[in-house]
Structure 1
Amino acid sequence: MENQKTGFIPLYRSVLKKPWAKDVFLRTLWENLLLGAARQPYTANFKGHQWPLQPGQLVTTSADLGLKLCDRAGEPASRHAVDRMLALFEKEGMISTAGEKRKGTVITITNYMLYAQKMDDLPAHLAAHYPEHSAAHDEASNGGVFGGYAAHSPAHKAAHFPAHHEQEGNNNNINNKISSSRNSEESRNEATQKFLIRHPEAADGIYTPAGKSWGTADDLKAARWIHAMRLTVNASLNEPKWVEWANTIRLMRLQDNRTHFEICDLFKWANRNDFWKDNILSPSSLRKQWDQLATKRKRSDENAAATGVKGKVDFNNTDWINGVFDEKSF
């Protein structure tokens, strides 16, 4: 009874058929938007500003939405991750957004009125076409032909429904003619969106469509530094594939337990060695020969120490890597 007093919305089972429904963060965000939207016109006071809202609208920020999307450790979703989820909903035609992201974004849920009332309240003609409620959800979640439908009187709705229904048929015919290549592209885009939601730390553009290879901004910085170092050996070398380089550095960190400092530092040693400078020209070759290089370097340092020649790296001096990482990183 207490729940009824604070309002409710119908949640149609057909939501489970949506490709994004398997993502618990997307599902939860969608439900939060539905539950947080205004049921009737009112003016919201948000961040010191007055926001006139219509049914199906709410004002919020990505950061605030992220606070309600936590993992098992209680860590909230980042603002960037929420932005990507909202972008997916916009692409699907489920919402539209307006306003400044930091000050407040007004989110409008497409066809919210289909969620705001029970099916029994809809005109008999509409209810007869959707006995399982599922088609209504499909159209609502995809921004279909019922936009604004429930805002009119029952008679007005019944009069206009055939035209809407005809338009729906036309739209379906068009959709059926979409080429397999376009479907393939949409699948890739969807895979990319899911990857970016899982890994908001991925550097912009430094990832393959499905996220098989990717790197962070610091992985990319290390890759660029390594490229600059190898150009001192051979200035005619081509620019590398940054995604693959950053991905290799990421794997060295996560799988081999190397730090960015250790990676760059060992490459610097190889780059100054008469033999290895011509053989270690990429993160992949560095990774492949890591153990051998580390052993050679250790022996070189020991020989230098025995002969009184200073050969060890001063790990407190990070001038050599200036421009790659802040000193705080070490």
Structure 2
Amino acid sequence: MENQKHGYIPLYRSVKKQPWAKDVFLRTLWENLLIDAARQPYTANYKGHRWPLEIGQLVTTSADLGLSLCDRNGEPTSRHAVERMLAFFEKEEMISVRAERRKGTLITILNYAEYAEKIDSTPAHNAAHISAHSKASSSKVSEGAPAHMAEHKGAHHEQEYKNKNIKNTTPVNSGESSDDRLKSLPVVRPDAAVHSPKGDKWGTADDLLAAQWIFSRIQVITPTAQQPNWPAWANDIRLMRDSLKVSHREICEVFTWANGNQFWQTNILSPSKLRKQWATLKAQMSQPVRNAPSSSQQQVPHWNDRKEWEENFI
């Protein structure tokens, strides 16, 4: 009865054929968008603004969508991760997104009317329905018999998904398997603040901040240094934390020592070099003579100084 009161949407089996559907976050977000989209035109009140919505539209924010995508510990998905997922759906021509600052994001599910049309009006349903009646009549089975009901329900569930939104992106006879297609999709990581196009290199917001702070110190020594590959830098910070079991504080402190050392300051110019020389740097830091800070090192602000963060990253 609750379903009848609040409405429902069809969810076709063919969605499982899509390579991206194996990503539980993409799959769940797509289902949430379908469920929340307007079934009839109406005006929504959201964040103090009136939004005239058409069929297949909804107004929300990336942060609100993330609250409905939680991990096993109940942690919601970050706004940045949701935005990347929405961008993926846009690229696949499944939705269009229009964001208005401080008001909300209007999401339109393309071809929603075709997707959500009533099952009993589709040709596949009608054909199966007539076939079921004919068989029931010829075998003297009544309409309410189990044989008729099974075939009637089968027509509902086996109807091919017509929506152009969820399309098979693997060309026919291309030689590319669904597994190959899946490997080419970006890996969506809820806690990633930055990632490479393939998603194989990524880092959290704090990993990225630490990488940006390191670069700001490198620029003091090498003003002509080019902008880094931020996903790769953040990835190296993350790998250091995971493999060496160290914190962002310790990473930045070791870099600060290297950055103030006359020899190492021109050799440690990236998190990857810092990671490679980590054991050597830690050993030299423990030596009293080497541990004496140089004049340039004394002038370097503490990595976790609030003023330092605000000046460089806000």
Amino acid at match of 1:198: P
| Aligned counterpart, 1:158 | none
Do the aligned partners of 1:28 and 1:69 also contact (CA within 8 Å) in 2?
yes
| Aligned counterpart, 1:165 | none
1:250 to 232, 238, 243: 238
Do the aligned partners of 2:120 and 2:126 also contact (CA within 8 Å) in 1?
no
Structure 1 residue 290 corresponds to structure 2 residue 278: yes
- State the TM-score, normalized to the length of structure 2: 0.69
Distance 1:127 1:56, change over 3 A: farther
Distance 1:55 1:279, change over 3 A: closer
Amino acid at match of 1:57: Q
Distance 1:285 1:99, change over 3 A: closer
Deviations 1:172-213 (A, max 9, x none): 9xx659898xxx9x877722xx33x434322xxxx4332333
| Aligned counterpart, 2:300 | 320
- 1:16-165 aligned at under 5 Å gives the runs 16-100=16-100, 102-123=102-123, 136-142=160-166
| Aligned counterpart, 1:200 | 192
1:228 to 219, 222, 243: 219
Amino acid at match of 1:109: I
Do the aligned partners of 1:26 and 1:85 also contact (CA within 8 Å) in 2?
yes
Amino acid at match of 1:288: K
Question: Unpaired segments of 5 or more residues in structure 2?
Answer: 129-153, 310-314
Tell me how far apart the structure 2 counterparts of residues 320 and 35 of structure 1 sit (CA, whole Å). 53
| Aligned counterpart, 2:198 | 210
Q: Count how many residue pairs are aligned between Structure 1 and Structure 2.
A: 277
Distance 1:140 1:282, change over 3 A: closer
Tell me how far apart the structure 1 counterparts of residues 124 and 258 of structure 2 sit (CA, whole Å). 78
Deviations 1:112-161 (A, max 9, x none): 23443442222569867x967667425343379xxxxxxxxxxxxxxxxx
Question: Unpaired segments of 5 or more residues in structure 1?
Answer: 145-171, 305-310
Q: CA deviation at 1:77?
A: 1.7
Q: CA deviation at 1:36?
A: 1.5
Amino acid at match of 1:119: I
Q: CA deviation at 1:11?
A: 0.8
Distance 1:27 1:256, change over 3 A: same
Do the aligned partners of 2:63 and 2:78 also contact (CA within 8 Å) in 1?
yes
Question: Higher relative CO (CA 8 A, sep ≥ 6), structure 1 or 2?
Answer: 2
Amino acid at match of 2:286: K
Distance 1:35 1:275, change over 3 A: closer
Do the aligned partners of 1:225 and 1:324 also contact (CA within 8 Å) in 2?
no
Distance 1:143 1:61, change over 3 A: farther
Do the aligned partners of 1:42 and 1:53 also contact (CA within 8 Å) in 2?
yes
Q: CA deviation at 1:288?
A: 3.4
Q: Give the match's secondary structure for 1:139.
A: coil
Structure 1 residue 190 corresponds to structure 2 residue 170: no
Amino acid at match of 2:192: P
Amino acid at match of 1:200: A
Distance 1:135 1:276, change over 3 A: same
Tell me how far apart the structure 1 counterparts of residues 219 and 105 of structure 2 sit (CA, whole Å). 42
Tell me how far apart the structure 1 counterparts of residues 38 and 276 of structure 2 sit (CA, whole Å). 58
Q: Give the match's secondary structure for 1:96.
A: strand
Distance 1:17 1:262, change over 3 A: same
Q: Give the match's secondary structure for 1:97.
A: strand
